[in-house]
Each structure stands twice: as C-alpha cells, then as structure tokens.
Structure 1
Amino acid sequence: MSKPPYRSKSRDKPRTVYGVSPFAKKKGPPPPESGKLNYHLKGHRFSEIFEASVEENRRKITSEFHDEVSRAHEVADLIYELASQYMWLVRSPLAADISPVNDILMPCFHKTQIGVYSALTMTEKGLYGAARPLLRHAFESLMIAKFCSVNNDSEIFDKWVDGLDIYFTNGVLKKIKHPDNDEFKVFWSSLSNYSHSSIYAIQPDLSVDGASSEIDLNFVFIGMLQECKYHLLIRHFVTPSMRYYQARYKDRGRVCEIKERLKQLFTESRRSMAPGAKALIRDYRAAWYSD
C-alpha cells in the first residue's frame, strides 16, 4: 500500500492577501516610502515604491542600528586593508610560499568580501530577506575553503576548481569530526530555509516597521561571518613565509594595529550574539579534523 501524500493542516486556512479590498474606503494608495505593496491600480509604480522605501529604510536603520552599521563597515574596511598587506605576495617575484590550495582560499575569501558587504548594504536598505541568500553563499564558501585548507588532498578542492557539483552537507559538514559540527548544521539549515523558495524566504513587503528583530538578526549573521572571514585570512591564506615578507617589506606596525582594532570590534559584536552564534565562531576558529 502506497504512502498517502503529505497534507498540511493549514492547507485550507485563509492566506494573507496584500491587494486592495473592493470594499475598502477610497483613501487612495499609501505614500511610496511606506514600503507597502498593495497592488493599487491607481497607485505608484513599483520602482517608485521600491526606491522611496529603501531610502526611508536606510534613514531608519542607520539611526536605530547605528553601532552595528558603523562596526560592520569598519570591520570590512580593516579586513580589506589587512588582506592588502599580503595579497601582493601571491604573484610576487620574491617567491613567498603560499598555500597549496590557494586557488580556492583566495577566490572564496575575495567573493565572501563582496557577498557579505552586499548583504550589509541590502540590510541597511531594509532588504533583510533578500540579503540572506548572499550570507548563505558566504558561509558555504568559508566552510569549503577551510575544509580544503586542512585537507589538502581532499577531492572537494579538485571538484571546486573544475566547477563540479559539491554536495555541501555530505561532502563537507558530515566529514568534520572535530569540533562538533552541530552549530554548523543548525546555521546552514537556517540559511537554507531563508534562501530556498519557502515560507521563510525574502520578506512580505518593503516596510521595516516591526521588523527590527529580523534586521538585528542579519547584523548578527554578518558579524559572525566577518569574524570567520578574518580567521580564514590570517590562519589559512597567510602563510609563515608571507608573514615574513610582509614584515620585511611592508608596514608590520600597521598590521598589529589592524589586528588589535579588529579584536576590539569582534568583542563588541559578540556581546549581542546568542550562545549558539558564539559557539559557531569558536568552532570555526578551532582546529578541524575530518575523515
């Protein structure tokens, strides 16, 4: 006997409808900056609502989350400056030793820089739901890059450079035996729910009124990924040989200043994180052992 198809208990419940009721009072469409998409035939164009809303959202969010916005921008700038102290050595005639899997470390770090900052910019504009797939991509990149760094002979590296499919859960997450990978799995599951076409994806409209907790969650996610990105740069991309040449030919004192400031900023960022978020950062920074 075949198993009956799954049926939701809420299958027949009324759904939220954002259109204008034919019985509503004739008040006209809301102002474009309201972020409300009610499909009013005589209302503003979608592009007008979108542009006006994100500008209004930026004003509100940079006021309410001033410290989070300022800190995330400073961290992004400092990590970029720190990376610039070493990137020149990759193609330098000095022949500094680089990681044998640099062909995945460097692109993953670089693309994560772009992805996380794009998500930050979108969050500032109130597009917190639309930003989350970018955060999922960044987390996946950071995990794959470190996995390859500690498993130089892993087939994951070869599949990645050849553009082949990588089954992240089975190929990476389940292979990590130390530290415990529970926090990685929980975070990956959450980001996947936000990224796939599910009831959790994107957001209901362009208004940020009542969405403070969602926006705050994005800043927590961004803080987590920025600290993981720093670890990947300093502990995996940068080799002892690269540290030597940087100290000899560039500004060693400035590197120390950047690292010290980043430690302060990461400490501030962790104050608003739940235990699980702090544990994920700890586990990402830990020594990894796998099958």
Structure 2
Amino acid sequence: MFRRFKCPLTLIVITLLFCAHKGPPLHIDRIDPRLEKIAPVNDHQIFLYFSEALDTTSIKSENFLIYTEQETLKIITVTPGNTSEQISLYTQKMAKIEYFIDGRVYDLSRRVGIFKTKFIGSIKPDTIQPVITNYSKGFKLKNFSLEFSEPIDTGSIKYYIFPKRKMVKDWHYMKKLYLNPETDSLNYDTTYYLFISEMQDLSGNRGAPFVTTITPDTIYNPIFIRGKAVFNDTPLASGIGLLGYEKILGVSTISQGEFLFEVRDSSKYFIQVFGENCYGADSASALDTNIVKLMPGVSKLDSIIN
C-alpha cells in the first residue's frame, strides 16, 4: 500500500517570505552634507571640513564664491583634501579682513549641501616647498604620472624627457600631471627618464629637481651605474649628472656626491656632471668604481639638454 505525499507548497511560500525579509532594510541617505569647519591655512589656502565624505567629481571652482562687500576674491583652483570629508581652496592673496563664502557640494549619494558663512582671511605667508608625493616608476608603463603635495603654477614647470620624446601635458586640479606621448607610443626596449628642473607652487615656492624612469618593457632587469662626483677631493653637495654626450640618454640628481643611472647593459658610458661653478666628465660603467673629478668652471646645463 502506497502512502500519498502532498507537495509542501505552504511550507515553501513561508520559507521564501521569511528569507525575503531576513536582510536589513535598505539604507537611504536623507541627510545633506554640512559644512562643519572653515580654516584659512595661509594667505592662499583655505580648508573646508564637512560632515561626511564628498563626491570628488563635483568639486569645481564654479561651485564656490568668496567675496567682501567691495570685491570678489579669485579662486584659482579647488582640490580634494587629505580626507574624503575635506576640500582645499586656493585663492589669490588674502587680507586679514572678513570674507563671505557661498558654496555647493555633493555627497556620495549625490545629495546637495548648500552653505553660506564668513571667515577672517589669513595673512600668514606660505613658505612650504612643493614636493612630488606620488609618481610612476618602473616597467610596464606607457606614460608618466606625477602627484604634487599642492597645486603647482602650471606655467612654471620645466621638464625634459631622455631620450627625447614629445609629450602632451594633462593637468588635473593643478595638482596631478600626466605626460602622454604626443604621437607614437614609447619604444618597448627603451628606458625613459623624466627630469623636472624647475617647478613652483602658487606662492612662488620652488621645488627641488626631480628624476624618475619608466619603460614599456614587460620583462626588465635594469643595471645601475653608481659613482661619485668630487670637487677638490670633497663630494659635490648637489648637482646634476647627464648620461651621454651628443645624445643624452639619462639624467641623475646628485646629492653628497652620489649619482645613479639606470641602463640596460654594462657598456661604458660618457658621464657629465654639473655643479655650481664646477664641471667634470668621464667614462663610467656598471662594472667600475666611478669617480668623476670636477674642475672650476661654468658649463651651462640648459645649452646641452635643450
């Protein structure tokens, strides 16, 4: 005798209903972002602190206005701050007077926060030197990218690519710079040097010379030429070294006499060293103990690398 089984339809429905309500309810952001603090840092920079993380894609200069009863204070650029709740405004030089500020920001849910308040401007000078905080270096790379500690006067930056290659500058917030090949991509079997010889921030503070290297190569084992530059038997305090003669292949900053070049073989290369009122040149290789002795004299670096 067979026992008949009924389909447990009721049990299935109850189980589905239970599972459907098992998870927590969806969170809907109903709170607008609020300005919590305004802090002038120096005569060019203002920090704004908000109640929550902001949508950085909406941070634009045209969303803010700083003014007095007589005039408008020009906003040069607006950048994301050190945290997701912070914004940095860079302005023309402020005075120690009362300013009004109107603004509009968006949180991550695209809720808008509109504010209007006032503050006293700072006359503290900006004396901090700009530095490069992040940069591209190594292999499998097809362009240069740099991030600065603060917005840069984009017209002040002077750079060179070795071996020479025309690049297109792409600035973001005046704080991030991408250098992309103008036409063809970079050569696969070549190490490219980026040398920034001059840069300054919006207050005119100058940054130190900077060098980095990249290559599109996917399998790359660099060889290094190390050495010292000495003047009157004393290590050169600071200077610039060039790899190559008629065709410059690379560049190195020199500190306490030490230089370093990244090459692809152990051949001998021609090295030129430029210091303040001194110059020297010699051959060098990765297999040698390389010492370049400098002599008094002036040799213009710009005339060689341009």
* Structure whose residues are more often strand by fraction: 2
Q: When you count helix as a share of all residues, which structure comes out higher? A: 1
- Greater radius of gyration (CA): 2
TM bin (shorter chain): under 0.3
User: Higher relative contact order at CA 8 Å, sep ≥6: structure 1 or structure 2?
Assistant: 1
